Structures are given as C-alpha cells and as structure tokens.
Amino acid sequence: MHHASDHVKADFRSDTLTQPTDEMFKIMQQASRGDDVYGEDDCVRSLEAHVAKLAGHEAGLFCASGTMTNQLAFRASLLVPPASILCDSRSHVFRHEAGGLAAHSHLTVYPVKPVSNQGHHLTVQDLEQEFVDSEFVVDDGDVHMAPTRMISLENTLDGTVMPLQDVQAIAAFAREKGVLLHLDGARIWNAVVAQGCELAEYTRLFDSASLCLSKGIGAPIGSVLVGNKALIQKARHFRKMFGGGWRQAGGLAAAAEWCIEHVWPTMTQTHALAKDLAEGLEQELPGATVYTAVETNMVFLDVNGSGIQLSELSRHLKTKGIEIGNRAAPDSQTQVRLVLHWQITRAHVDEFLEVVQGLAAQAKRTGPQIKSDQPRKRVYGSR
C-alpha cells in the first residue's frame, strides 16, 4: 500500500511527525477494547496510572492532545472568573492554543518576559518583579482586579531546559503566594533526559502537569494530564463537556506505553545528534548562525550571510527525502527550526550535512555573501 508520506525518509519539521511503526500497530491490535467514557478500558487506565506514578501524582487522564490537557488543567483548577494567570510570554498556552485560556476558562493572561538569565528561561526573579510591578495581582478584595491564581511554566521551551533548581524556586514562590502551578510539559521528557533527573523531580513540584506522548515520545496520538484525584475527576467532567470523551482508546494507550518504554531511552542519542547537526551546520556554513542553545532536540538555524537560500536548501534536501520546516517559504526567509526525534538517524544527519556542504561549495564559487543587516523577528514556535 502507498502512503502520501512514503517518500519522506527524515522529517525535521517537528517531533509530532514521527510515524507509528508496524510494531505499534501490532501492539494496538492486542490492546484492550473497552469504552473509556465508561472508564472500562484497561490499557487506558494502565497508561494513566503509569504516567501518574512516573510523575509522582495521584491520577492521570489520557486525552487527544496537549492543548486539551493544558486547557483542562486551567478549567478544572480555576473553575470561576475573575482570575488571571502568569506565564512566559513565549509559551504555547498563551500563543498557540487558539486563545483557549480566555475562551474556556475566562482567564486574563499576564505574559511575563524572561529578562533575568539573558532571557533563557523564566526565573523566580522575573516573577518577583511582576509581583513588584503588580502584574501579579494579589487577591485583596479590590473589585477592579482579576487575582492571579496560577502560574504556568513550559519545559522545554524552544528546546531549552528550565534547570530543576529554578523550577524549585518558582514552586516555593507559588506556594508562598498561594497560587497554583501548572506545567506544560509537552517536552518534559526531553528536559528530564537533558537534566539527568527523574521525571517526578520536576512534575511533583506542580499541582498539574500536561505530558505529551505524540512529540518526542513518538506515540501516534495523545497527552496525559496528571494531578490529584479531585482535579482529574473535574478534568474528566470538563473533557466530556468539551466533547473530548473518547471510546475505544485502548490501542492508542497501548502504543503510547510501548513508546515510553522503547523510545524514551533513545532520547539521549537524539539530543547528541541535534548537537552534531548544529556543529556540522556551523562548520559547513560559515556565516550562518545557530541562534538558540542546542540543549535537547531542536536546532534553530539562520542561513543569513552564508550565501545559500533557505528555499534552495529545502528543495535540495527534499530530493534526498529530507523535509525541513519551510519548503514553501519565500526566498527572503532565512530562519528555520529543525526538530530531531527517534526516527532521525545519524545517516540522515550526515546526508543533511552533505547537501549543505554541496550548496556551500557552490555558493563559494559564486562569491562572498553580505549578511543582511535588516532586523529580523526570530522564528520560533513550539508546535
């Protein structure tokens, strides 16, 4: 049988593009076939219990997407307006969830710019500053205000890791101020591997955490929300209200379990490959920049000043079966996010670098390239 994506050998656009393997379909065939809305599917219940245990929480809820597990966490934790939430100004929950914070939970968002630490990650200093600047709204009975009830953190964010000790400091701050703490842990698995700690060391610091299984973990579909029993029960109720109750989801849960066991341990190699790709790119493409620290599975590349066009690179890679983020990009675009995952091998990275080498040699023959000094908006995006 032919599939639309069969010609793609290596897809660097996102770690969501991992494809279910024959082995996963075999596992799915053997999975339980109960109705999860009835709470009767064994594989779903077992995945929820397993992830909750790994994360050091009482209960878990397997859902269709990370957007859903984030949004359910807010809705189920906060219940009623008026309220506000603080989060990193770059965060997915604020920028990439279709305004869900306002729509589902009636929340006013105070996006906080990470300024300490060269903007690498949000720190307790950044939050304390918000407290001083009164973006952090104290619940003192002032009827004009929407009291801050929650802080949401994202880890990893653009592939960078929030160090455990900084998260610990924020957790202490949140407790002291009496606000809840949520983790958008779409890629917390990567952060754990990079930090070299246990998953629960991070996730236990939060009242709720959303963990995606369809990104670096490589599962076909799904995310798990973890928290205490009362929260998960509430979230289950709201999930039904949102139309997200699903029926025979056992196959998906079984595939996700397989991925936690088999794919997660390969993440160290994926991170090493990302570093090698970044180093290779800087070596083969003088003038280009890798503009964000490569700490996990993402490489942000700007080809400006290297003499090659991104559109050209992407066309040449495509002939080798390698996809990157912006095949259809206008020639003026120079930045791209490259995302590595378990289905990208050293051979793919070598092939990628060979294409780059060929183009760079060609560019060298056509003369030096002046770096454009036009100010650019950095391309990010945590989809």
Ligand X SMILES: *Cc1c(COP(=O)(O)O)cnc(C)c1O
Closest to ligand X by CB, 238 vs 356, is 238
Stretch that binds ligand X, among 26-34, 46-54, 137-145, 211-219 (CB under 6 A): 211-219
Identify which range of 98-106, 135-143, 199-207, 210-218 contacts ligand X by CB under 6 A: 210-218
Out of 37, 53, 65, 282, which residue is the one contacting ligand X (CB under 6 A)? 65
Instruction: Tell me the closest approach of the beta carbon of residue 191 to ligand X, in angstroms.
Output: 11
Nearer to ligand X, 183 or 308 (CB): 183
Among 67, 105, 160, 306, binds ligand X (CB under 6 A): 67
The stretch among 66-74, 75-83, 129-137, 262-270 that binds ligand X (CB under 6 A) is 66-74
Nearest distance from C-beta of residue 69 to ligand X, angstroms: 8
Provide φ and ψ at 208, rounded to 5°.
-145, 150
Specify the residue, 186 or 277, whose C-beta has the smaller distance to ligand X.
186
Question: Which of 308, 344 has the CB closer to ligand X?
Answer: 344
Q: What is the rounded distance in angstroms from the CA atom of residue 203 to the CA atom of residue 208?
A: 8
What six digits make up the tokens of 164? 């455990």
State the Cα–Cα distance between residues 44 and 51, nearest whole angstrom.
11
Distance between CA atoms of residues 204 and 214, nearest Å: 22
What is the number of the residue whose Cβ is closest to ligand X? Answer: 66
Q: Is residue 295 at the binding interface for ligand X, with CB under 6 A as the rule?
A: no
- The Cα 228–Cα 337 span in angstroms is 36
What residue has token string 């006013």?
Answer: 108
Token pair in block for residue 193: 């591997």
Considering the complex, state which of residue 85 and residue 360 has its C-beta at the smaller distance from ligand X. 85
Among 47, 192, 212, 338, binds ligand X (CB under 6 A): 212
Judged by beta carbon, residue 70 or residue 77, the one nearer ligand X is: 70
Q: Is 92 in the site for ligand X (CB under 6 A)?
A: yes
CB neighbour list of residue 24: distance below 8 Å, 6 or more residues apart: 219, 220, 255, 258, 259
- List the alpha helices (DSSP H) in 12-123: 22-29, 42-54, 66-78, 92-95, 100-105
Helix (H) or strand (E) holding 255: helix 250-262
> Is the Cβ of residue 61 or residue 303 nearer to ligand X in the bound state?
61
Strand pairing of 10-11 and 289-290?
unpaired
- Name 280's Cβ contacts closer than 8 Å, sequence gap at least 6: 349, 352, 353, 356
In this chain, which stretch among 112-120, 207-215, 241-249, 367-375 interacts with ligand X, using CB under 6 A? 207-215
User: Cβ closer to ligand X: 84 or 223?
Assistant: 223
Closer CB to ligand X, 149 or 182, in the complex: 182
The verdict on 154 binding ligand X (CB under 6 A) reads yes
Q: How far apart are CA 236 and CA 241, in angstroms?
A: 9
Spatial contact of 114 and 163, defined as CB atoms under 8 Å apart: no
Query: Considering the complex, what minimum distance in angstroms separates the CB of residue 328 from ligand X?
Result: 21
Stretch that binds ligand X, among 37-45, 126-134, 212-220, 335-343 (CB under 6 A): 212-220
383 binding ligand X? (CB under 6 A): yes
How many chain residues are in contact with ligand X, going by CB under 6 A? 14
- Burial per residue of 368-383, b for 16 or more beta-carbon CB atoms within 10 angstroms, e otherwise: ebeeeeeeeeebbebe
Contacts of 10 (CB under 8 A, 6+ apart): 321, 322, 323, 343, 344, 345, 348, 351, 352
C-alpha 111 chain-centroid distance: 18
Min CB(223)–ligand X separation in Å: 6
Q: Which is nearer to ligand X, 203 or 382 (CB)?
A: 382
Binding pattern for the stretch 220-249 against ligand X, x by CB under 6 A and - elsewhere: ---x--------------------------
Q: Which 168-187 residues touch ligand X, going by CB under 6 A? A: 184, 186
**Distances from the Cα of 151 to the Cαs of 58, 141, 208, 308, in angstroms?**
21, 20, 11, 42
Question: Residue 382, interface with ligand X (CB under 6 A)?
Answer: yes
The answer for residues whose C-beta is within 8 angstroms of residue 140's C-beta and 6 or more apart is none
311 binds ligand X (CB under 6 A): no
Interacting residue ranges for ligand X, rule: CB under 6 A: 65-67, 70, 92, 154, 184, 186, 212, 214-215, 223, 382-383
